[in-house]
Amino acid sequence: MNHALNKPFIGISSSLLTINQGSFIGRERTFVGYDYVQSVVSTGGVPFVLPVVTEEELIYDQIKMMDGLLLSGGYDVNPQFYGEEPAQGLETVNQERDLHEMQLARLAYQAGKPIFGICRGLQLLNVVFGGSLYQDIYSAIPHALQHDQKMKPQMGTHQVNVVENTLLHQIVDQKQLLTNSYHHQAIKTLAPTFIVNARSKDGLIEGIEKKDHPFILAVQWHPELMFNHSLPMLKLFEAFVQAAVKRKERSNGS
């Protein structure tokens, strides 16, 4: 089946979840939200989960296997990676996951493979390429809107203004998007070579993209929870998977 052969392989970064009940208390599991898997399946990609590993050669091999990298949401990035001491509002950090994803991001970038970052994925990309974060929005920015919504995950709660002449604007073709919001951190200083493609009404950066690469795009919200309900969110995954198709065709020489 030629069609199946053309499907791009999308590696989804994962987390380590410590089990807190049952027979295996204290053991860790590889964990990723199933919505990420469904989003890739729905837009024509072949998803596979990337377990956290820290051996350089293994990460290199993980990158070789994929046509696109999906950086999923999760824990806070260790502030040491942007030169700060931990603030009071810092939450759970996992050093192994940080190291794994930072190396994935560097290698995918070098290989010209598309990267789509979601929530923590946006923060991780900003840090690995030289930016910094607010460790806790509410203590750093008193006038901030609510960014940890209490409504259903598929419901958008705050607007973002989409910046014109950006890849994001080209994809969603709208000046505003209603997004869901589940973050307590945000970008403080933007990494060099990135531009802002979306902001919430309180001025926080809600989306970024890298200028020297065909597709490195990240959003602070969770389109994987909305793609069944919001056409622009579906379009984001379609654009990412199509960028991976293009990258795959380049490496096949066809």
How far is Cα 22 from Cα 205, in angstroms, rounded to an integer?
41
For 236, the token pair is 């984001």
By CB under 5 A, residue 147 contacts Mn ion? yes
Kindly list the catalytic residues: 119, 222, 224
Residue with tokens 């994962």: 14
Using DSSP's 3-state secondary structure scheme, residue 156 falls into: coil
For 110, the token pair is 């070098």
Which residues have CB under 8 Å from 65's CB, separation 6+? 9, 11, 48
Q: Yes or no: say if 44 and 7 are a contact pair by the CB < 8 Å rule.
A: yes
Residue with tokens 């200083």: 189
x/- letters, 11..50, toward Mn ion (CB under 5 A):
----------------------------------------
Of 14-22, 42-50, 146-154, 237-245, the window that binds Mn ion (rule: CB under 5 A) is 146-154
By CB under 5 A, residue 100 contacts Mn ion? no
For 205, the token pair is 């950066």
The CB-of-90 to Mn ion minimum distance in angstroms stands at: 18
Of 13-21, 37-45, 149-157, 175-183, the window that binds Mn ion (rule: CB under 5 A) is 175-183
How far is Cα 41 from Cα 26, in angstroms, rounded to an integer?
32
Residue with tokens 């020489």: 253
By CB under 5 A, residue 97 contacts Mn ion? no
By CB under 5 A, residue 181 contacts Mn ion? yes
Q: Which residue is nearest to Mn ion (CB)?
A: 181
Of 22-30, 177-185, 225-233, 241-249, the window that binds Mn ion (rule: CB under 5 A) is 177-185
Residue 159 pairs in a beta bridge with: 178
Of 39-47, 70-78, 179-187, 239-247, the window that binds Mn ion (rule: CB under 5 A) is 179-187
The CB-of-198 to Mn ion minimum distance in angstroms stands at: 10
Q: Yes or no: say if 40 and 70 are a contact pair by the CB < 8 Å rule.
A: yes
The CB-of-202 to Mn ion minimum distance in angstroms stands at: 9
The smaller minimum CB distance to Mn ion, of residues 3 and 143, is found at 143
By CB under 5 A, residue 210 contacts Mn ion? no
Residues that bind Mn ion in the complex, under the rule CB under 5 A: 147, 181
